Amino acid sequence: MRRRTFFTLAAVPALLTACGPGDLSGGPEPQAKLSFRNRLRIPPLAPSTVDKDGVRRFELTMQRGRTELLPGKPTDTYGFNGSYLGPTVRARRGETVRMVVRNELGEQSTVHWHGMRLPARMDGGPHLPIAPGATWSPQWTITQPAATSWYHPHPHGATAMHVYRGLAGLFLLDEPGGPTLPSAYGVDDVPLILQDKNLAADGSLAGDPLKGTFGILGNTVLVNGTYDPYLAVESRRVRLRILNGSNARMYDIRFADRRRFHVIANDAGLLNAPVEVDQVSLSPGERAEIVAEFAPGEQVVLRSIGGSADIDAGDLDLLKIVAAKQLKASPPLPDRLADRHIDVPAGAKVRRFKLNGHDSINGQEMDMTRIDEVVAAGAREIWEIVNNVYSHNFHIHEVAFRVLDVDGAPPPAYATGPKDTVFVPGKSTVRLAVEFGQDTDPNWPYMYHCHILRHEDSGMMGQFVVVPPGTESVVPRVLGAHAGHSM
Ligand code: C2O
Ligand code: CU
Ligand code: CU
């Protein structure tokens, strides 16, 4: 079954002119200016208990509900333990966690732990469906450094709709003995989940996340599900953990007064040292942790400044920060944050991934029965992502990587930390140094894909297995319908 290609490459510029660059999905233009009337919601921290075997247990229920995304106009939404988004899970390196996930959506879904190093059977990709009414309880030991990870559904072909309706949450990883940083959750360590929606006049979620070149580029930006938000702060320095949880939109984030701030972490953990900037760009699925400074009594707006890409057009207000008249002192930002080096040895294996149109990689659409790549445990490889078309990005499960270069030039200093998702601009090549973990399983794959969910769902995704070194050539490339696999 071949899907029709919606737009040829040549048709894209014409479409941009016809509809205006801000919205390719047919809705109204994004509302650029906000009045900041609503206090920013902070997702609650997920409660946990300790099971008899000493494993820390979290419970997440996927459910339907109604949420006032726009005041007075309830919207049918999905959420974890509530009607929209999910609680923030927080665990420490060295702990074993058990996630008890119950599906009460009335339709099949999965839950993927984005940014997590774990065995493939726990990863929650499209091979691990949770039937309606069923419970899935993966468990793993956290072996990776501190990071801002997240979780979201990953059912093949329906990820875009499930995320768009509201299924997403943060998964914060702490590391004992890490640097001293603002860390009072929701106080001076504040999550910001950025998502754009196409909200109709009656408040309903409009737009088809599987239509057009990019699916949803919405008219309304929500932060933690809050429309028109402000954040009150009470200390001089505030850490913002920003997740681009949008289906397709990219954000070029800066303060309206262009004040400088520090980036302290990328997707997969801390930078070795803070990097001072006045802007960070995040494509879907990417995270950045920043530390910004405020003066007593001031107010400043965080905005997204339309960039040059086709998925970040238009200037958009995101959030107003309102500083208290008296601000508590904050500890100074450390000069050094980590000592992490993702490098590849000389002669490292190079794999090439060519992004085609909006639905395939290396000329092939995603096939759940096909293993595209076999990787040796602990490998360090160069993955080269070649994009001859419009904006895409690239996410790899299980790994951490470092961006080596974009069209031969090094990335900006703030984006040289550990990552798991990277923007791949139109007509460019991005090279990554990729660090694979030690969990092996020839029968359960991990995914790599474009995190523009319209593309991911359309087949711009591939599968790799991690196997014991030396066994790469004997691994079957076709997955049988063995127990637990649903194809
Ligand atoms: Cu956040 Cu495979 O995805
Ligand atoms: Cu992922
Ligand atoms: Cu894409």
215 lies in the same domain as 287: yes
Identify the pLDDT of residue 308.
84
Encode pLDDT of 290-313 as tens digits. 999 999 999 999 999 988 899 998
Residue nearest to atom 3 of ligand 1 (CA): 114
**Closest ligand 1 atom, residue 150 Cα:** 1
Average confidence (pLDDT) over 155-167:
98
165 lies in the same domain as 195: no
Identify the pLDDT of residue 399.
98
Contacts of 4 (CB under 8 A, 6+ apart): none
Query: Is the C-alpha dihedral spanning 33, 205, 210, 385 positive or negative?
Result: positive
Ramachandran class of 293: left when φ > 0, alpha when ψ lies in -120 to 50, beta otherwise: beta
306 lies in the same domain as 359: no
**Closest ligand 1 atom, residue 447 Cα:** 2
Phi/psi at 286 (5° precision)? -80, 155
Let me know if residue 25 belongs to a domain: no
Is there a contact between 355 and 325 (Cβ–Cβ < 8 Å)? no
142 lies in the same domain as 233: no
CA of 335 to the centre of ligand 1 (A): 32
User: Which ligand lies nearest to the CA atom of residue 154 in the structure?
Assistant: 1
CA of 214 to the centre of ligand 3 (A): 8
Count Cβ neighbours within 10 Å for each residue of 53-92 and write b for 16 or more, e otherwise.
eebbbbbbbbbeeebbbbeeebbebbbbbbbbbbbbbebe
**Closest ligand 1 atom, residue 461 Cα:** 2
Let me know if residue 128 belongs to a domain: yes
- pLDDT bucket at 463, cuts 50 / 70 / 90: very high
CA of 325 to the centre of ligand 3 (A): 45
Pocket, ligand 1, Cβ cutoff 6 A: 112, 114, 152, 154, 285, 395, 397, 447, 449, 451
> Of 3-17, 84-98, 197-211, where does the model show the most confidence?
84-98
Q: What percent of the chain has pLDDT over 70?
A: 92
Is there a contact between 182 and 237 (Cβ–Cβ < 8 Å)? yes
Compute, in degrees rounded to 10, the torsion defined by CA atoms 446, 104, 92, 159: 40
Average confidence (pLDDT) over 85-93:
98
User: What residues make up the domain containing 299?
Assistant: 181-328
**Closest ligand 1 atom, residue 449 Cα:** 2
Domain containing 106 — which CATH number?
2.60.40.420
User: Which ligand lies nearest to the CA atom of residue 398 in the structure?
Assistant: 2
CA of 448 to the centre of ligand 1 (A): 8
Identify the pLDDT of residue 307.
85
CA of 159 to the centre of ligand 3 (A): 14
CA of 387 to the centre of ligand 3 (A): 9
154 lies in the same domain as 223: no
User: How far is the C-alpha of 328 from the C-alpha of 156, rounded, in Å?
Assistant: 47
Average confidence (pLDDT) over 57-68:
98
Hey, is 322 helix, strand or coil?
Answer: strand
DSSP secondary structure code for residue 214 in this structure: T
Per the model's pLDDT, the better-predicted residue between 68 and 15 turns out to be 68
Closest to 246 measured CA to CA, from 271, 225, 269: 225
How high does pLDDT run on average in the chain? 93
**Closest ligand 1 atom, residue 421 Cα:** 1
**pTM metric for this prediction:** 0.93
Let me know if residue 335 belongs to a domain: no
371 lies in the same domain as 430: yes
Phi/psi at 350 (5° precision)? -115, 125
Hey, is 351 helix, strand or coil?
Answer: strand
Identify the pLDDT of residue 31.
65
On the question of pLDDT at 17 being above 50, the answer is no
Query: Where does a domain end: 129, 157, 174?
Result: 174
CA of 87 to the centre of ligand 1 (A): 18
118 lies in the same domain as 186: no
On the question of pLDDT at 30 being above 90, the answer is no
Closest to 44 measured CA to CA, from 142, 172, 147, 137: 172
Which residues place a Cβ less than 5 A from the ion ligand 2? Answer: 114, 397
364 lies in the same domain as 465: yes
Encode pLDDT of 360-380 as tens digits. 999 999 999 999 999 999 999
Count: domains in the chain? 3
User: Which ligand lies nearest to the CA atom of residue 397 in the structure?
Assistant: 2
CA of 393 to the centre of ligand 3 (A): 6
CA of 330 to the centre of ligand 2 (A): 34
228 lies in the same domain as 312: yes
User: How far is the C-alpha of 29 from the C-alpha of 40, rounded, in Å?
Assistant: 23
Residue nearest to atom 1 of ligand 1 (CA): 114
Query: Where does a domain end: 174, 198, 218?
Result: 174
CA of 246 to the centre of ligand 3 (A): 13
DSSP secondary structure code for residue 279 in this structure: -
Lowest mean pLDDT among 25-39, 71-85, 252-266, 403-417: 25-39
Let me know if residue 29 belongs to a domain: no
Q: Which two tokens stand for residue 97?
A: 């966690």
Closest to 453 measured CA to CA, from 136, 164, 151, 86: 164
415 lies in the same domain as 290: no
Strands 96-103 and 139-141: antiparallel
User: Which ligand lies nearest to the CA atom of residue 391 in the structure?
Assistant: 3
CA of 429 to the centre of ligand 3 (A): 14
Let me know if residue 8 belongs to a domain: no
Beta strands in 130-236 (DSSP E): 135-136, 139-141, 147-152, 169-174, 189-199, 205-206, 220-223, 226-227, 229-235
How many alpha carbons lie under 13 Å from residue 125 in its C-beta half-sphere? 28
User: Which ligand lies nearest to the CA atom of residue 385 in the structure?
Assistant: 3
Let me know if residue 316 belongs to a domain: yes
On the question of pLDDT at 11 being above 60, the answer is no
User: How far is the C-alpha of 81 from the C-alpha of 117, rounded, in Å?
Assistant: 24
User: How far is the C-alpha of 181 from the C-alpha of 165, rounded, in Å?
Assistant: 33
Query: Where does a domain end: 295, 328, 361?
Result: 328
Let me know if residue 170 belongs to a domain: yes
Let me know if residue 455 belongs to a domain: yes
287 lies in the same domain as 361: no
207 lies in the same domain as 324: yes
**Closest ligand 1 atom, residue 125 Cα:** 2
Contacts of 55 (CB under 8 A, 6+ apart): 96, 97, 98, 139
Closest to 43 measured CA to CA, from 181, 169, 219, 174: 169
Q: What percent of the chain has pLDDT over 90?
A: 90
User: How far is the C-alpha of 300 from the C-alpha of 108, rounded, in Å?
Assistant: 43
Encode pLDDT of 313-364 as tens digits. 889 999 999 999 999 999 999 999 999 999 999 999 999 999 999 999 999 9
Average confidence (pLDDT) over 454-483:
91
Contacts of 134 (CB under 8 A, 6+ apart): 102, 103
